[in-house]
Amino acid sequence: MFRKIVLLATSVFAVNTVLAAGAGAETKQIPMVSIHSEMQIAASPAAVWSYITTGKNFVTWCPNWKAARNATIRITRVGDVLDYADEWGNGGRSIVTYCVMNKELRVAHEPFKGDYICQGKFTLTPAAGGTMLSFWDSYTDASAPKDMEATLQKMQAGSDQSLKAIQQALEKK
């Protein structure tokens, strides 16, 4: 019996030692960058929703979703998956995490390398003469401050251009 108690105590000590060693694992705090764009569009929320969730339109407003496979997709529910590739050579999947028709769409971008986190959110709000389309993009960036600022400026300009492209496509109809 004494042997069993010693063996159990030794095992508990070994497990606690391993857990304590893991507690000292390296951690690093990485900044989360957020951008926001919005655009008044002279179209109903249903028309805007249809446009932004129809695959054949992605290439006109979202350069990251230009993969040929995406052209046949229509976003309708949580779990829908799109292929993406960005201008920095990152590729992966965009997964729909929240979807309320004509109101809100959220996606999480899962890079193949798994080296950053990125999420996007669209909201559609009825407004006088149409829809207020808002977009937020949040991503981690461990770059030096100068590079982080350059990326932020590029991402903001790209988001603004995407919403402008949606507006132009819907208002010319």
Local confidence pLDDT in tens for the 173 residues of the chain: 556 554 555 555 666 665 666 667 788 888 999 999 999 999 999 999 999 999 999 999 998 999 999 999 999 999 999 999 988 888 999 999 999 999 999 999 999 998 889 999 999 999 999 999 999 999 999 999 999 999 999 999 999 999 999 999 999 86
Measured on CA atoms in the order 87, 89, 93, 95, is the torsion positive or negative? Answer: negative
For residue 3, with 0-12 CB atoms within 10 Å meaning exposed, 13-18 middle and 19 or more buried, which class applies? exposed
Task: Give the separation between CA 169 and CA 40, rounded to whole angstroms.
Answer: 13
Residues 122-141: tens digit of each pLDDT: 999 999 999 999 999 999 99
pLDDT of residue 40: 97
Nearest in space to 137 (alpha carbons), one of 157, 112, 154, 118: 118
Q: Which residues pair with 85 in a beta bridge?
A: 91
Task: Give the separation between CA 157 and CA 171, rounded to whole angstroms.
Answer: 21
pLDDT of residue 88: 83
CATH topology for 29-171 is Alpha-D-Glucose-1,6-Bisphosphate; Chain A, domain 4 (3.30.530)
Task: Give the separation between CA 154 and CA 15, rounded to whole angstroms.
Answer: 48
